[in-house]
Amino acid sequence: MTFATLRGAAYVLVHTPDLVAYGSVPSFERARATDFGQNFARSLRTYDEALTYPPHQAFIGNLNPGELAALPRPHHRQAVPGGRFGPRGEIMPQDEFFLWLKAVDVFSLVELEETFLAGCRERFAAHPLVSDTELARLGDGSPLSSIEERVKQGAAPLFHRGRLVGCVRPAHEHDHTLAAGVMLENLVAKASGVIVLKHLVKLTATPASSLDYLIETSEEASGDENQRGGGGFGKAIGEAAGCTRATAVDLRSFCAGPAHGLVNGAALVKAGVFGRVAIVAGGALAKLGLNARSHVQKGMPILEDVLGGFAVLVAGDDGVSPILRTDTVGRHRIGSGSSPEAVMRALVTEPLASRGLTPVDVQAYSVEMQDPDLTETAGAGDIPRANYRVIAALAVKDGHIDRSALNDFVTSRGYPGFAPTQGHIPSGVPLLGHFRDQMLDGKLQRAMVIGKGSLFLGRITSLFDGVSVILEANPGRPAAGALPASHAVTRLALVAHDHEAGATEVERGARLARQRHGLDVHILRPEDVPASITGSDPETRLQRWLEQLLSSGEVQGAVASHYNFPLGVATVGRIVPPGTGETCLLAATTGGSAADRVAALARNAVYGHILALALGNPRPVVGFLNLDGARPALRLVQKLAAAGYPIQLATSARADGGQLLRGNDLVAPPCDVLVADTLTGNLLVKILATFSSGGARETHGWGYGPGIGPGWPHLVNIISRASAAPVIAAALEFAAELARAGFVATMAGEFRKLEDLGWDALLATAQSPPALTASEPPRAPDGELTAELAGIDALELEAATAALHAAGIPTRSAMGCTGPTILVRPSDLERGQDILRAAGYA
Amino acid sequence: MFKGAKVIVLGDRDGVPAPAIETCLVAAGAQVIFASTECFV
Amino acid sequence: MDLENQSRVKALAEEYGPGHLMVVLGGAEAEASGLAAETVTAGDPAYAGPLTGVQLGLRVYHILEPEVKAAIDPQVYEEQVGLMEMVLDVDAISAEVSTIRQQYTRY
């Protein structure tokens, strides 16, 4: 059984001290004349204080969350180094965030003061995740006087260090669900969601446009007075982050939302509904300063001054990433009861027992990971610790551990809390990134992620909610002692010693791949081949060395400018057709899938289909270009589909349709995979790659793609000796994407399915037909041959003609607008059509 | 102690939630006239 | 204590008379439970809610206190609360709430 896997998790904090006043508790307290109001402003932290606060550094991955336990409490008196960015995200300052609010505002509700905007614009533009669209949306800002006027009329003011720098206007004159405060709350959730989703896309090196589904799990409500919680956060965030192919949904269950999202996402991937699912949520404005009353009372800084955000990527089994055991899902049932024991049994012991496991068999738990510095002074205690103690107490009660081992259980299987009290943000998800890394390093086998939600706060039920799921190290990952297959870094070999522009160009390509995509690239040179590898010539020895590295898993893939694939292996490339600007696969581009032209075309279609599957497209559409041999090849693939292989065929976008694609379709393909013979495909890649460079250098695209064929065990992507450095880097990134996607396993699996369906036998039936020869062809004057038999493939023209001659029908061949035709006497037309149809030529 | 008593229950999401307390008290003969669970997070 | 809960408690005390009411708490921690007990006896110590300055003097207990446990069917108590005896600091919570009760309860 395969499961969905956890591909990465991103985390963001936004330090927003001036927004704390908008929190539900501070806004209430400040409205009363108490000393809270007087002490409020001086209790807020600076950005630097928020940056060095240890739990924040743990949240973005600069500090192992386990190490927090070794730091003296309270943590707000400690400062750790680390900085703004971490391996899992960042801590963004307030002023830049206000520009993001503006950049994601599609309704012109956010106005920023012009000098403030000018002062931050450069820093905003320098952010690695900011696009030109976002920059353009900033505009020039408004004069202070106009913002002051807006605020007087009901806009929500935005302050930075106490100075009015902008406002958010109401989105409707009367509708309270679109009031300024609500719009601010929703734009805050959207903007922080966009930022963290962009981080996820970057850190997992997954193009935003390749995501299929977004599940948004914050606790905000977007809609108007007729549907106060209508939804739309998911699509709004996806739209701003460039997820053009994805659809999205808002999923709610108070703080349990993210855990429900994780279970749903994993299930949809496992069911094959979606290939890549991101679960995402931005921060909660209302929860800022939730316990500020007690923080201020005790002379502490107001620690709830950050918005949180997280995003998680779930996709198919890559053989490496931790698997989400959707067969072991804990759920708080409506009838479970609400005692702490009933809740934790439903979430922890019941799902474990279903697989014969106990709480002791789980090495680490991610519960509600609230930072205790924030909650203890308010009387809520140390929430993660209380959760761990309940699990441990269950283990004691059920006799799995001794009472005296309770504290040990808590410290060995638990983590200190480190997440802000942003409701859904601390709930189960904060440790996902850490767990993933631990599992990839072989340090963790099984963990449980638990989300709980206080449904009763909505006053329509007294019920509680919760859901849990087990995360396990991928059984397919290499055994201990071997090189880690894939961590943050994918290791690739690059072989291009025969490059036309010399070694420098190749080195530049490798450097770009390292810098832009964080890949570990090793250039293999003929002079470095180990002496133990023998061969008749340096080329052979180099190839053997590469194959050895691939076989041992030393590298996960390779990019080569020259590689001798066996017959049966052809490469499938990726192109950007000018008519759509979106990617499309082209099969084939080098190599040869079969010696026979028709069989080769049919195979190419299947190879392209396989690559599309490996790239996460669950239902690729394949289209044959109208080339010699395409018609019989198309028929073969139709037979394959009829035999049960789920391959879908395209229809031409031209008015007359048909299943063969014309030149117009090449420019704007109505499909995910274009099928051509290798030489044509190769020409097309070269045209697209050199179009703007004058012809000599290939400056666009990803090269020629990976070799695909039955029994072919490796990931080797092909480039040309004329590929410029950016194309070399792109080819490496393409190979890395395939390595992470488990390309070799997908390829092997698909060829197994094809074998089971009798694909080889099917191919053998339809070799290009031998020409039949009639002894003396029947003749008629050309003037009488006016009726057209169309839809015949050029390769079969001769055989079709012979079949007609054998039936005594005189013919003349001609060229129609979509291919060759045979002209016959109108009186022979019907009989001729029958003969050709019966013989399979039309 | 609780027989016939009118009781207000103020539970805590991270301590003992109100419905669990209510079940105990009702079993002891109390009449629960209001029950609510607080949430600090 | 939650402000909405304070106003409910106040209204119920007016309706039934404070001498006829009891409050049972489920707080996770001693200090917070003590503050809740204080709120329904001596008034809201945070000066935030409707019970500010209102001395209801209600009889108040925590569900984890031994005398409360003794008054409840052991099997039901074990099912509903048993686990939390292991998790929460029963002694500290009991000491805090009973101190407040002895100090401020008028009934």
Mean pLDDT over each residue of chain A, to the nearest integer: 91
Which residues of chain C are within 8 Å of residue A389 when distances are taken between CB atoms? 86-87
Query: pTM here?
Result: 0.66
Is the CB of B14 less than 8 angstroms away from the CB of A426? no
pLDDT value of residue A595: 83
Which residues of chain C are within 8 Å of residue A380 when distances are taken between CB atoms? 28-29, 32
Whether residue A80 contacts residue A54, with contact meaning beta carbons closer than 8 Å, is answered with yes
**Alpha-carbon distances, residue A807 vs A826, A828, A833 (angstroms):** 15, 10, 12
Local confidence band at A75 (pLDDT 50, 70, 90 cut-offs)? very high
pLDDT at A486 over 60: no
Token pair belonging to A469: 């799921």
Local confidence band at A779 (pLDDT 50, 70, 90 cut-offs)? confident
Residue appearing with tokens 């010539």: A537
Low-confidence stretches of chain C (pLDDT < 50) are none
Instruction: Work out the average pLDDT over A538-556.
Output: 85
Is the CB of B19 less than 8 angstroms away from the CB of A337? yes
Nearest residue on chain C to B30, judged by CA atoms?
A: C22
Which residues of chain A are within 8 Å of residue C3 when distances are taken between CB atoms? 28
pLDDT at A480 over 50: no
Q: Model confidence over A263-288: pLDDT tens digits? A: 999 999 999 999 999 999 999 999 99
Instruction: Work out the average pLDDT over A586-594.
Output: 92
ipTM of this complex prediction, to 2 decimal places: 0.95
Instruction: Work out the average pLDDT over A491-510.
Output: 90
pLDDT value of residue A760: 87
Q: Are strands A812-815 and A820-824 parallel, antiparallel or unpaired?
A: antiparallel
Start-end of H helices in A138-289:
144-152, 180-203, 233-241, 257-270
CA–centroid distance for C65 within its chain = 10
Per-residue three-class SS string for C4-30 = HHHHHHHHHHHHHCHHHEEEEECCCCH
pLDDT value of residue A487: 42
Query: pLDDT: is A816 or A133 the higher one?
Result: A133
Determine the 3-state secondary structure of B14 from DSSP. Answer: coil
Instruction: Work out the average pLDDT over A539-565.
Output: 87
B14 vs A337, A338, A381: nearest CB: A381
- For chain B, the farthest-separated pair of C-alpha atoms sits apart, in whole angstroms, at 35
Question: How distant is the Cα of B28 from the closest Cα of chain C, in angstroms?
Answer: 5
Is the CB of B19 less than 8 angstroms away from the CB of A339? yes
Interface test with C, best of A341, A344, A387 (most C CBs within 10 A): A341
Strand partners, A244: none
Instruction: Work out the average pLDDT over A62-68.
Output: 95
pLDDT at B5 over 70: yes
* Helix H or strand E segment including A689: helix A678-690
pLDDT value of residue A763: 84
Nearest to C67 by CA among C16, C32, C102, C31: C102
Local confidence band at A775 (pLDDT 50, 70, 90 cut-offs)? low
Whether residue A308 contacts residue A97, with contact meaning beta carbons closer than 8 Å, is answered with no
pLDDT value of residue A484: 40
Is the CB of A380 less than 8 angstroms away from the CB of C80? no
* Residue tagged active-site, from A167, A243, A255, A817: A817
What count of CB pairs under 8 Å joins B to C?
101
pLDDT at A485 over 50: no
Instruction: Work out the average pLDDT over A488-513.
Output: 87
Q: Model confidence over A617-669: pLDDT tens digits? A: 889 999 999 999 999 999 999 999 998 899 999 988 888 888 899 888 999 99
Instruction: Work out the average pLDDT over A149-171.
Output: 97
pLDDT value of residue A482: 40
pLDDT at A483 over 80: no
Question: How distant is the Cα of C58 from the closest Cα of chain A, in angstroms?
Answer: 21
Instruction: Work out the average pLDDT over A663-690.
Output: 93
Is the CB of A380 less than 8 angstroms away from the CB of B40? yes
Q: b or e along A29-61 (b: 16 or more beta carbons within 10 Å of the residue's beta carbon)?
A: bbeeebebeeebeebbbebebbbbbbbbbbbbb
pLDDT at A601 over 60: yes
Which residues of chain A are within 8 Å of residue B12 when distances are taken between CB atoms? 380
Which residues of chain C are within 8 Å of residue A342 when distances are taken between CB atoms? 79
Is the CB of B41 less than 8 angstroms away from the CB of A464? no
Start-end of H helices in A615-656:
630-642
Chains that touch B (3 or more CB pairs under 8 A): A, C
Is the CB of C80 less than 8 angstroms away from the CB of A34? no
pLDDT value of residue C59: 97
Whether residue A718 contacts residue A703, with contact meaning beta carbons closer than 8 Å, is answered with yes
A393 vs C31, C46, C87: nearest CB: C87
Nearest to C51 by CA among C101, C17, C2, C106: C2
| C35 touching chain B per CB within 8 A | no
Main-chain phi, psi angles of A727, to 5 degrees: -75, -40
| B35 touching chain A per CB within 8 A | yes
Local confidence band at A777 (pLDDT 50, 70, 90 cut-offs)? confident
Which residues of chain B are within 8 Å of residue C88 when distances are taken between CB atoms? 15-16
Nearest residue on chain A to B13, judged by CA atoms?
A: A454
Nearest to B18 by CA among B5, B28, B32: B32
Catalytic, A584? Answer no
Q: Which residues contact A39 (CB under 8 A, 6 or more apart)?
A: A296
| C11 touching chain B per CB within 8 A | no
A339 vs C47, C81, C87: nearest CB: C81
Instruction: Work out the average pLDDT over B21-37.
Output: 96
Give CA–CA dist A338/A325, Å, rounded: 26
Is the CB of B28 less than 8 angstroms away from the CB of C72? yes
pLDDT at B31 over 60: yes
pLDDT at A478 over 80: no
Q: Model confidence over A213-269: pLDDT tens digits? A: 999 999 999 999 999 999 999 999 999 999 999 999 999 999 999 999 999 999 999
Is the CB of B15 less than 8 angstroms away from the CB of C28? yes
Local confidence band at A767 (pLDDT 50, 70, 90 cut-offs)? low
Is the CB of B6 less than 8 angstroms away from the CB of C20? yes
C27 vs B12, B33, B34: nearest CB: B12
Is the CB of A293 less than 8 angstroms away from the CB of C32? no
Instruction: Work out the average pLDDT over A683-709.
Output: 92
pLDDT value of residue A773: 55
Instruction: Work out the average pLDDT over A197-206.
Output: 92
B8 vs C12, C27, C79: nearest CB: C12
Residue type present at position A402: D
Local confidence band at B3 (pLDDT 50, 70, 90 cut-offs)? very high
Which residues of chain B are within 8 Å of residue C12 when distances are taken between CB atoms? 8, 33-34
Give CA–CA dist A323/A320, Å, rounded: 9
pLDDT at A774 over 70: no
Which residues of chain B are within 8 Å of residue A388 when distances are taken between CB atoms? none
